[in-house]
Structure 1
């Protein structure tokens, strides 16, 4: 039995265990990681690197930064203001939070960070409105994931250059992706996503008992803590605001002046403790270790699939299939759905590295315009929210919403179908292959 088959069997068993739910997801993730290493699907040193992954550090750091903000009176004031404007309407609340989330996602290339900024304030709003965070965390999360870098602002301004780099590397330079092409292709999904998250997603979200920090608690409430002293109170505001500004403008400031993204979050978390906003015990308690282990296991699965060549095998199969399919909409469907599904278990960057070159080569053999199709592949890879393996933001969404894998999958089905249909039909219409 070769490594590819073994890797696929381990992945299948892991997903079955997640859905089965008899073993905790963190335990399943660690068993999966060990199995990949013991069977030779994953190098031990590469497996170990997942524990120090920069996204994992960001997740843990943002848990602490968010807990620090929750410790202050700032989000209480924001919550009261939001509730006053909303006048008890959850639709108005979601309108404000979703629109801000979408705007931030155009400047910050990480949905994880956007969600980490927005979720503490929404949690406090839920407390004041007596609504479970489980009703709103998934809609907030997918608004950040599915719309990331859609507009040519901030991180979105680099998308065209990246795609042109793929075209140059594959010697297909008679076609050029313009600055506004990615926006032209993905704007309808942004609109559909906003409408769905504001008006409909709350209605299908589960109503779970979640504690104030956002972790499932089975009805247990956090004990009230005394108010912070004036210095720590102001420090909490300033640290959160500076961390947010650093993340927004990080891409536009020379590396010699500002730190990498994970370090910005880490320093923000550290300052929350040093300035007395959180005690050391409170900071450690804010870190959701089971979700971190789930993230590590998810990254290990993606690495194992990439190393085994599973993605390349699927991609080569699709390239051969494309040459025999005459209908452009069917070609678009294949090149969207397969990367979309594969990105649920592999890192989106790895899937893009595999599929975009294959897409370009398939278009070359067909004499087709590749621009719409490569944007479609990229959109599919960026729209991963159905499993904790899809994007680092999902474990954080699960933690704050108290979701298990079944509730995430259930909530994902409708938006996944909507976004797929809209993306394929729109892109293949306005950016035809022939």
Structure 2
């Protein structure tokens, strides 16, 4: 074959021998929330990604706009942020490991503690389902095996079934509270009872991405559990309450037997210096953030009460979103909302998650629900 013929063959089949890992074929694709479609005469609103509808605080925007050291690598340990968090949360800075959002922090944990062992047998990671859709992707990419435990009918974790699913191969258990996308949060008493059933060498992750919006005093506080149980790891993020989703900054809190390995598995420079600076400023102006977050909580209350007045049956909502268990009608409802300038998030034929957004967006959502006739209604 001449050089010209080889070049032609390569162009027709540019990578005939390149193959991805077999695990990729078994994994679902992450589906990001879509923006609203443009509709003449109608303001569009994105209620599909659980984003904070408000920008960062003015004081945070000020430090972001003044930032210039983009040409320098960030501190790989995010020392300034960890020290600020240490004071704010009253935990040792050594127990905090930052990551690219709470998902980045989770991926570091999976890389360190869950995967395929020398004998070729994968560790098992137990988590509720449906829950955060990145869980099966992250677990699979780590080389571990997913053990999905179905939620109960009210959208809550079935902790008894999760405890019963533990085997000698279980390395990590994920608890998502409030659960995304259904909304309920775990109570302190039930988590304590659950932890009593879990072997001490199994890591229990309390994923609190939405903890800023929790108002039920009985809901578990992950840091309280971390103080009492050496195998508990807490995940938190600045993406939701602080409105820094685009900067990707989160963290885990755990004891030295865990953090020592997390620092080995941590992605170098995962948190940019800009993101660290913005997160520190958010903590330093936390009182202003609380006022903003309370406004979102008030809107959540209005939406939940409005839905229930309409006769809709929805799970408890402790995050910045509500869940409509519409089943096979989910795609149709999402399309109806899209036609009214609202982008919401349909999960197959299971349900629709709707983020609490701007007041006008929330009112439009309630208006759609007022005329929708396919449930889920109180019988």
Give your verdict on TM over 0.5.
no
TM norm structure 2: 0.33
Normalized against structure 1, the TM-score is what? Answer: 0.30
